[in-house]
Structure 1
Amino acid sequence: MYKYSVSILGTGFIGLCSAACFANKDIKVLASTHNKKKASMINDGIAPFYEANLQEMMDDIKAKKSELLQCLLDPVKAVLETDISMITQGTPMRDDKSIDLSYVESTAREIGKALKQKDNYHLVVVRSTVVPGTSRNLVGKIITEVSGKIPGKDFGLCMQPEFLAEGRSIEDTLRPDRIVIGTFDDRSGEMLQEFYEYFYGDHLKNCPILRMNLESAELVKYGNNCLLSTKISYANEFANFAQLVPNVDIVQVMKGVGLDYRINNRFLGAGVGFGGSCFHKDVNAIKAWSKSKGYHSRLLEAVLDINDDQAIRIVDIAEELAGDLKNKRITLLGLAFKPGTDDMRQAASIRVIDELRKRGIEDIVGYDPKANETAEIELGNKIAYANSIEQALNGSECALLITEWDDFKALTPEDYKKHMKTPNLVDGRRLYDYERFNSALPFRAIGRINLD
């Protein structure tokens, strides 16, 4: 018999990975989505998107304890039959770059409809990334408006930001480095903390639980993602410095910087820029939010500008290496925004392709080990799609390494020379040993020019 029952309202990366991990630890989970196809796939034990280790976990759950993970099309029913509800809806970016809270708002209304029919105390946890004030002034108020129930008395309200990195969402769910709980009141916080004490057990010996108010917890998530984005753009700014003179290698520079214990070396890898469902969206969202409050963030504006410019930089490097790229076949190795996922949202490949096409380059072939299908949905016929590395390189006159998959890391200079028409290679992720590749073929890399 399970001790906890949880409804997960939203079955994207955060929602489904959390649902699978909870069910794997003998917690009854009712996930909810309005997408019939996705619900059917989940109930059949099939992950509707690629995420490292997710399918394997769902296979195990389906084989041994399928009753612990079900997906419903009725969110009201899911809430009614559980003790804790977690809002894991997406908060996409509007055309004006501000946050779109419509999915969170509609989910709050559905929770309100359920709680109107429920007499027992129920805990609501906002896990979506939302701007400060949303949990209290949008979610809490809508639930009260619809249900007539009072927060703190009839239902609990917490905001628990997630810190999952796509490509390792399962690992990050099972072994977080901290748990932040924003609370409406002590009772809400105690209930959620007890849940995680049960779920994590001994892992909490090395994983602090930090309690605070709702608004502070909401801003923690933005503080986290904005700092990581800033580190990436900082590294890319210095990569551009490194390309101004010979004898500078950005990899060595950032290694020297990152060994400072106050900084560390994570997210200091220069390349074609960040992408994904979080960084670009969240930096824009908090920037737009602060602007609406009368404060203009010059720092975050620069972070975004530097990131977007990296697409121009890598195409410039390719033209310096291979000459005019018009009427040449150009290969992109990697389309997903990072390895370990098939997510194309805000991927650097999109910006690079747009820059290539802006310069009149139309013969573009892309290949990704996991993201070809999602890339075609995103990009359509802007490029051709190869089914293998060899096919992608065949007849190519310049290859751009965009995503640092292990499949590409294993390639040698001889592989490029064997399959390409002209083996011009630009390493956009500093994946390769510079001396080895530079001595074997026409080669350039972000953050380094040939040494004197």
Structure 2
Amino acid sequence: MKISIIGTGYVGLVTGACLADIGNNVFCLDVDPRKIAILKEGGIPIYEPGLADVVQSNVEAGRLEFSTDIEASVAHGEVQFIAVGTPPDEDGSADLQYVLAAARNIGRYMESFKVVVDKSTVPVGTADKVSAVIREELEKRGRTDLGFSVVSNPEFLKEGAAVDDFMRPDRIVIGVADDENGRTALAAMRKLYSPFNRNHERTRVMDVRSAEFAKYAANAMLATRISFMNELANLADRVGADIESVRQGIGSDPRIGYSFLYAGTGYGGSCFPKDIQALTRIARDNGQTLRVLESVEAVNDEQKTVLTDKVFARFGADLSGRSFALWGLAFKPNTDDMREAPSRVVIGALLRAGARIVAHDPIAVTETRRVLALDFADAPVLLDQITYAKDPMTALEGADALVIVTEWKAYHSPNIERLKSTMKSPIVFDGRNLYEPAVMKAGGVTYHGIGRNSV
């Protein structure tokens, strides 16, 4: 099939590359000439394991191309995927300007029936707005004879495992209209996704608004589990319980399961924070208050300060003259994404308290430098207090304590004896509960986890 992907960001690039990999002819459009130039030269503007190989092999095979030519993009694909950004607006709602601009271009240039797929995460009712914009453009051209149908096909990709998630999906949600054009669109979508349904049917067909809602509901549930466990972890610290034992005790219940039950420094990234805000805004616009989700967001905001609260409790509020090693900058492993990363809150608190930081992250240092320049625009001189190490152990040299923020595999099995001999004082503040407190204590390390017997 001929497919057009509008937007070569995280979702668009993964979607385009993977659809090309199963044999489709994919045209990826972006209005950013710099990004297209990078892609044409064989570069990848984002970090995602395995993606570069998929892109390169399909470009070489002639199944994947990149361009800024809007008219050519519309002409190419019988299916037009809109995969542009929907950043949060000032009031927390999703900003649809890029989605509607893409829809307007489709209406402006289409010359045949189009299946228009909302792949971006969008509020309930967006498909109606997309349809109205396309229809308006067709009316301007006097081409109301041209048919189209807008489909909702939300993505459920995890950063760091997106290629595998796309190629081995647990479900494919398709929302279509209950009319003739909708049935035509559904047939096209079933054909497109048929390679993923050979072993068993993964497609879930529903009305458009339910499909739009499903994406927000999924992220809201996962975020809720994270905040729930973080609140319990904070209580466990007060009563002397071990949240890891609690996790195993409740996760073994098949009605609950283990996924997203890990306590830590809170969630970040591009999806959970903005989707929770958008969903609560949708509720308010419809006369309802989502009290659980408002609490989820509040708990998460507070959780990002828990680690530094432990540091201040140990060393005091003035950290002048103190040096801290910091392991992990990205909001999660296997990505360089720093959006809403807890490390930004931790770094901000430590630097403003006068501390020096030597940080390590396998991937995210370049992106960290960029976002910290924005975070410290009011006090850029503080950035002189943070440097970056090439490996984790180098970051420990002369440190008063180690602060762990992201659970990269490289941090899972440190040499405790070397850690002790390298640091000024063997103190670990573990924001991801990577280590067993008893093992660290036996090795002579003072250990502070999240919810791990801190009474």
Calculate the TM-score normalised by the size of structure 1: 0.92
C-alpha distance 189-209 of structure 1, shift in aligned 2 (>3 A):
farther
3-state SS of paired residue (1:243)? helix
Following superposition, the deviation at residue 239 of structure 1 comes to 0.2
1:186-225 matches, cutoff 5 A: 186=179, 187-192=181-186, 194-201=188-195, 203-225=197-219
Equivalence map 1:242-281=2 (5 Å)? 242-246=236-240, 248-281=241-274
Alignment correspondent of 1:14: 11
Give the corresponding residue for 1:443: 447
User: Are 2:54 and 1:57 aligned?
Assistant: yes
Letter of the 1:330 counterpart: F
Question: 1:402-431: per-residue Cα shift (whole Å, max 9, x none)?
Answer: 111111113232242233222211111111
Percent identity over the alignment? 36
**Which stretch shows the higher mean deviation, 228-237 or 250-259?**
250-259
How far 1:361 moved relative to its partner?
A: 3.0
Q: Of the candidates 109, 114, 122, which is equivalent to residue 109 of structure 2?
A: 114
Q: Which amino acid aligns with 1:176?
A: P
Decide which of 389, 393, 415 is 2:392's aligned counterpart.
389
Going from structure 1 to structure 2, the CA distance change for 1:207 and 1:250 (only over 3 Å counts) comes to farther
The letter of the residue matching 1:15 is: G
Partner of 2:79: 84
Amino acid of the structure 2 residue aligned with 1:24: D
Q: Is the 1:160–1:217 Cα contact (8 Å) retained in structure 2?
A: yes
Partner of 1:316: 309
Query: Comparing 440-449 with 165-174, which one deviates more in the overlay?
Result: 440-449
Q: In structure 2, how many angstroms separate the alpha carbons of the residues matched to 1:415 and 1:273?
A: 29
Cα deviation, 1:45-73, whole Å, max 9, x if unaligned, reads 3211110111122232244x0x2111111
In structure 1, the gaps of 5 or more residues are none
Aligned partner letter, 2:40:
N
Separation in structure 2 between the aligned mates of residue 301 and residue 98 of structure 1, nearest angstrom: 14
Q: Which position in structure 2 is the counterpart of 1:168? A: 161
Q: Are residues 193 and 356 of structure 1, via their aligned partners in 2, closer, same or farther at CA, if it must alter by over 3 Å? A: farther
Out of 411, 419, 434, the residue aligned to residue 431 of structure 1 is 434
CA, structure 1 residues 335+44, in 2 after alignment: closer, same or farther (shift >3 Å)? Answer: same
**Structure 2 letter corresponding to 1:59:** Q
Distance 1:178 1:204 in 2: 13
How far, CA to CA, are the matches of 2:313 and 2:144 in structure 1?
A: 62
Mapped to 2, the partners of 1:35 and 1:376 lie a distance apart of 22
Rounded to whole Å, the distance in 2 between the matches of 1:37 and 1:378 is 20
Q: Does 1:295 align with 2:295?
A: no
- Distance in 1 (CA, whole Å) between partners of 2:159 and 2:434 is 20
Q: 1:150 and 1:269, CA in 2 relative to 1: closer, same or farther beyond 3 A?
A: farther
Q: Deviations over 1:256-279 (max 9, x none)?
A: 111111111100000000000000
Q: Distance in 2 between matches of 1:415 and 1:38?
A: 43
Give the C-alpha shift of residue 297 in structure 1.
1.8
8 Å CA contact 2:59–2:65 kept in 1: the answer is no
Letter of the 1:284 partner, please give it. Q
- Residue identity in the other structure for 2:117: V
Which residue of 131, 149, 153 corresponds with 1:140?
A: 131
Deviation at 1:159, TM superposition (A): 0.5
What one-letter code is carried by the residue in structure 1 that aligns with 2:421?
K
CA contact (8 A) 2:138 2:144 kept: no
Q: Deviations over 1:202-239 (max 9, x none)?
A: 64533431111111111101100000000000010100
Secondary structure, counterpart of 2:199 in structure 1 = helix
Off by >6 Å, runs of 4+ in structure 1:
149-153
Q: Does the 8 A contact of 1:283 with 1:300 survive in 2?
A: yes
| 1:38 and 2:38 matched | no
Q: Distance in 1 between matches of 2:350 and 2:187?
A: 50
Post-superposition shift, 1:190? Answer: 4.9
Aligned equivalents of 1:232 and 1:298: distance in 2? 16
Q: Which residue of 407, 412, 424 corresponds with 2:410?
A: 407
For the residues of structure 1 that align with 2:130 and 2:144, how far apart are their CA atoms?
11
Q: In the alignment, is the contact (CA less than 8 A) between 2:401 and 2:427 conserved in 1?
A: yes
- CA–CA distance in 2 between the matches of 1:111 and 1:167? 32
Structure 2 SS opposite 1:206? coil
For 2:356 and 2:439, how far apart are their aligned partners in 1? 29
Contact 1:331 1:399 (8 Å CA) reproduced: yes
2:232 is aligned with 1:232? no
> Aligned in 2, Cα 1:265/1:415: closer, same or farther, shift over 3 Å?
same
Counterpart code for 1:29: V
Tell me how many residue pairs correspond in the alignment: 440
Q: Which deviates the most, 265-274 or 346-355?
A: 346-355
Contact residue 426 and residue 446 of structure 2 kept, 8 A? yes
Cα distance in 1 for residues equivalent to 2:399 and 2:145: 63
Question: Is 1:93–1:100's contact at 8 Å kept on the other side of the alignment?
Answer: yes
Secondary structure of residue in 2 paired with 1:366: strand
Any conservation in 1 of the 2:22–2:195 contact (CA below 8 Å)? no
